A and B are shown apart, each in its own frame.
Chain A
Amino acid sequence: GAVVSQHPSRVICKSGTSVKIECRSLDFQATTMFWYRQFPKQSLMLMATSNEGSKATYEQGVEKDKFLINHASLTLSTLTVTSAHPEDSSFYICSARVWTREETQYFGPGTRLLVL
């Protein structure tokens, strides 16, 4: 099946710094990618929908100026957590949407962010 990678797999940073997370579709093109966040013991929550060549669509309650999304190519979307704070520590997972006979989303392995 299709493979989605994320880099880095885990990152530790100091409060106030910015962190960039990459999501790549390795063997297919994806015009749409999604970013999810998962806090401990909780389920995944959609943060934003990333569309190649256009602005991302953010879910209610997600600050677009804090979580910058760039989808510059059909195989790469990036999420930048700006001025990260400890409460941003979470597991961030991306997915890429593929249309064959039907719609399928393939999920990346996730990025663990710890902000000190």
Chain B
Amino acid sequence: KQEVTQIPAALSVPEGENLVLNCSFTDSAIYNLQWFRQDPGKGLTSLLLIQSSQREQTSGRLNASLDKSSGRSTLYIAASQPGDSATYLCAVKSTGNQFYFGTGTSLTVIP
């Protein structure tokens, strides 16, 4: 069974700092990997989707990389802002229907 781990569980940084969130998964036979943002008590907002054949995706200040062979993905956030404060979830889709979610990284950007 696929297991997804996110490190760190929580992160607090001053505004303007660049930061990296980590995601690792145990089974490299994945279909795609997706990073989501979840605000307290809210649903999920998709940030970036990386197909298994891709190595990275970029959107604005966000860059996500995927190293399928080592079972790792990183989400890089440049020039962090207080509005970036949220929980970031990594989800891996294996060859079945199911998304396997990590437990998330809770990010706080201090003004």
Residues on A close to B: CB < 8 A? 1, 6, 32, 34, 41-46, 49, 59, 91, 93, 95, 102-110, 112
Contact = CB atoms under 8 A, between A and B. Distances in A.
Contacts of A103: 31-32, 93
Nearest to B102: A43
Contacts, number: 46
Interface in B87-105: 89, 91, 93, 97-99, 101-104
B61 interface: no
B93 to A, nearest CB: 8
Contacts of B51: 102
Contacts of B32: 102-103
B49 interface: yes
Q: Max chain A CB contacts within 10 Å: which of B42, B43, B89, B97?
A: B43
Given A43-B89, A44-B89, A102-B51, A108 B101 contact: no
Contact of A49 (B36, B46, B91, B97): B97
B43 A108 contact: yes
Closest 7 CB pairs of A and B: A109-B43, A43-B101, A107-B44, A110-B43, A43-B103, A44-B101, A46-B98
A93 B44 contact: yes
Contacts of A44: 44, 89, 91, 99, 101
A93 B42 CA distance: 9
A30 to B, nearest CB: 13
B41 interface: yes
A49 B4 CA distance: 20
A40 to B, nearest CB: 11
Contact of B43 (A49, A59, A102, A107): A107
Contacts of A45: 101
A50 B11 CA distance: 36
B97 A104 contact: no
A95 B101 CA distance: 14
A91 B103 CA distance: 14
B104 A43 contact: yes
A6 B49 CA distance: 23
Nearest to B106: A41
